[in-house]
Chain A
């Protein structure tokens, strides 16, 4: 069976989502592997969201927010960056490949960059292969 990765993307309302919307309204073609969840700010993305996406079978998680200095709420993207850095360290300890979690800044005018980003991440995940997270957790249950 051909593997096609599933990417869950958390996009901030003000920049990244608008950027993704621009890619769509400009009719740019990009990999259909992405499932977008819009949040008001990248600072709203709780590490729980990312871990839950992995637990439920996402092969990759993409987080996008406004460029540094451009956050609609002043500092949300910096908080997101700090949490992301901690998450990176944590998922490495848990044996999850670094390619599976990505953070990029996308402005409202960067539709093209967004489309390229999705293509690149999809390609990288094709090389890494399917996530073993869900299968590891499925074996785990003992309750009969």
Chain B
């Protein structure tokens, strides 16, 4: 950034936006606690809907590339998310897909197991508490006497940010760990050499197993899969060796193995490690070597104890996976 010797270094302009998100990513920024004061000392927050009252038209009026860094969290689910993704792409020098939803589709991405029609049918016709004899559905435009009201159009698919606009960096996590955000922010604020465009930052190259402190043996053999509530965890042996599916082997490290440290198996929110593209395929490959049976019938019996492989292995990553959605 240009600065002359008489003026102090200009402050960074930072924007944070949410698409189809739960708000947890915005809270992860607040979770930097007193370090948030360091962030606002180095950067002006120019747009952050959860914390500041700024309208979309104010953002649209900003000059192109006038925002230094935008952290975009949440998936792209409707026309409003898409519009703001495009606006923020144009206004930002660096656009970061922040969190599992923007990076891989996240929990909202599970909607790709169904379609917009099926969702509307359930919500507006079938739920036990729905009374809608006229089968009214939301319309994107409604005429009232003051004019036309409009609401965003919901898409049939959930998209990752990268499927809608070009993204410079990805910070994984549901939500990203605040320490990782601080590392990335400090690197940008101090003008450190940034990694090549398209990199996953604020996370490791290798898997969670690489950092996990639980006792592991090389020979994992599984006779039956248990859901976490079906078994008494001994708190020290690898979850997979106890028969509980842990996404560790197919998940990038960087979170500090928080879930496993809290005696809960990894759910895969940091996405696949650098060497793998599709976390579910990686997981199926890994589990294939652990199932302790050779005959077709026995294997079937063991696999029957995995109730929902697609939902389990692609919990955070369905829209970014190879198939991307249920085939229609």
Contact = CB atoms under 8 A, between A and B. Distances in A.
Interface of A: 46-48, 51-52, 54-55, 68, 78-83, 85-87, 89-90, 93-96, 132-133, 136-137, 140-143
Interface in B237-274: none
Given A54-B323, A132-B327, A86 B287 contact: yes
A86 B303 contact: yes
A85 B69 CA distance: 45
A135 to B, nearest CB: 9
Given A79-B288, A82-B299, A143-B165, A95 B326 contact: yes
Interface of B: 76, 82, 113, 155, 157, 159, 163-165, 276-278, 280-282, 284-285, 287-289, 291, 293-294, 296, 299-300, 303, 306, 308-311, 313, 321-328
Contact of A83 (B113, B285, B311, B322): B285
A86 B324 contact: no
B303 A136 contact: no
Contacts of B289: 79, 82
Contact of A48 (B155, B159, B322): B322
A142 B309 contact: no
Contact of B309 (A79, A90, A132): A90
Nearest to B162: A143
Given A83-B284, A86-B309, A89-B306, 15 more contacts: A46-B281, A48-B277, A48-B278, A48-B322, A55-B322, A82-B287, A82-B291, A83-B285, A86-B287, A89-B303, A89-B309, A94-B326, A95-B327, A96-B327, A133-B327
A54 B157 CA distance: 19
A52 B293 CA distance: 27
The residue among A79, A86, A87, A133 with the most chain B CB atoms within 10 A of its own CB is A86
A93 B285 contact: no
Nearest to B328: A136
A68 B157 CA distance: 42
**A-side interface mostly:** helix
A87 B295 CA distance: 17
A133 B76 CA distance: 22
B309 to A, nearest CB: 5
B174 to A, nearest CB: 22
A94 B288 contact: no
A46 B267 CA distance: 21
A143 B323 contact: no
Most buried by A among B113, B157, B294: B294
Contacts of A46: 281, 285
Contacts of B82: 142
B328 A78 contact: no
A47 B279 CA distance: 10
B284 A87 contact: yes
Contact of B285 (A47, A78, A137): A47
Contacts of B310: 90, 93-94
Contacts of B282: 47-48
Given A55-B323, A89-B309, A95-B326, A81 B281 contact: no
A64 to B, nearest CB: 16
Contacts of B293: 82
A95 B306 contact: no
Contacts of A52: 322
A140 B318 CA distance: 13
8 contacts: A55-B323, A78-B294, A86-B284, A132-B328, A137-B324, A140-B324, A142-B159, A142-B164
